[in-house]
Homo-oligomer: A and B are copies of this chain.
Amino acid sequence: MGKEQAHTVKSYEQELTQLRGMTTAMGRLVERQTGLAIDAIVEADIHAAHEAQALDPQVDALERDVEALAIRLLALRAPMAGDLREIVSALKITGDLERIGDSAASIAKRSLKVEAAPVDVPTGGLRGMGRLVQENLRRAIDAMSGQDSAGAVEVWQSDAAVDELYTAMFRELVTYMMEDPRTIRSCTHLLFIAKNLERIGDHATNIAERVYYAATGEMLPAERPRGGGTVSR
């Protein structure tokens, strides 16, 4: 009961700020998880691989916390217009963040398989793609945290470059496997890792679209800029 009362005393504005803070914290957490996952595969950093996987329960717990607070705000505060859009966006964005966390954990797990394999495979191509995806994700979380619609548009536009890097990586890996079939098992893991990075980029773009909508009440066009053609998507 004491806890309930403490909550009730908080102002509506404080609770909205708290929701924003929790969503941003979740964003920063999956951003860190993504960075660790990229180090795990590109720097062969086993410690980072374990750390990235270990963050998963925290990400899931934050998603549940955001949802509980959003439901509380909806039930008790009857938010309208921009506030309502922001709360609904937070509910949707945490879904994207949770999947980014899943993708990061999957990259980390696969990096251990690649490390443990007897044959070396080229992970360098993932470095540039990883860096770009990490940067886009950081900017998406920044835009979210600052309700910055212009920043959101920038993220939304730069996803095409991620797609192009993915397509190049796909081709390179298939060629590599054909030239040396002993690398097939490890290269399939790299293929999935590249796909996971591309998906993280996609989710960052979804978040940017949501941020834009919450801030402006307008939707970005349904067709986002695309790179790399359709061959390997």
Contacts and interface: CB of A to CB of B under 8 A. Distances in A.
Nearest to A91: B91
A170 to B, nearest CB: 8
B109 A88 contact: no
Contact of A231 (B70, B113, B184, B191): B113
A219 B96 CA distance: 20
A185 B179 CA distance: 12
Contacts of A84: 71, 74-75
B192 A174 contact: no
B174 A185 contact: yes
Question: Which label, helix, strand, loop or mixed, suits the secondary structure of the A interface?
Answer: helix
A78 B73 CA distance: 11
A70 B88 contact: yes
A113 to B, nearest CB: 7
Contact of A67 (B79, B88, B195): B88
A132 to B, nearest CB: 21
Contact of A195 (B75, B192, B233): B192
Interface in A164-191: 170, 174, 177-178, 181, 184-185, 188, 191
Given A74-B84, A88-B74, A95-B95, A184 B174 contact: yes
Contacts of A222: 57, 60
A92 to B, nearest CB: 6
Contact of A85 (B57, B71, B78, B95): B71
Nearest to A106: B233
Most chain-B CB neighbours within 10 Å: which of A95, A96, A178, A191?
A95
Contacts of A81: 75
A231 B113 CA distance: 8
Interface of A: 57, 60, 64, 67, 70-71, 74-75, 78-81, 84-85, 88, 91-92, 95-96, 106, 109, 113, 170, 174, 177-178, 181, 184-185, 188, 191-192, 195, 219, 222, 230-231, 233
Given A64-B219, A74-B79, A195-B195, 8 more contacts: A57-B222, A74-B88, A75-B81, A95-B95, A170-B188, A174-B184, A181-B184, A192-B195
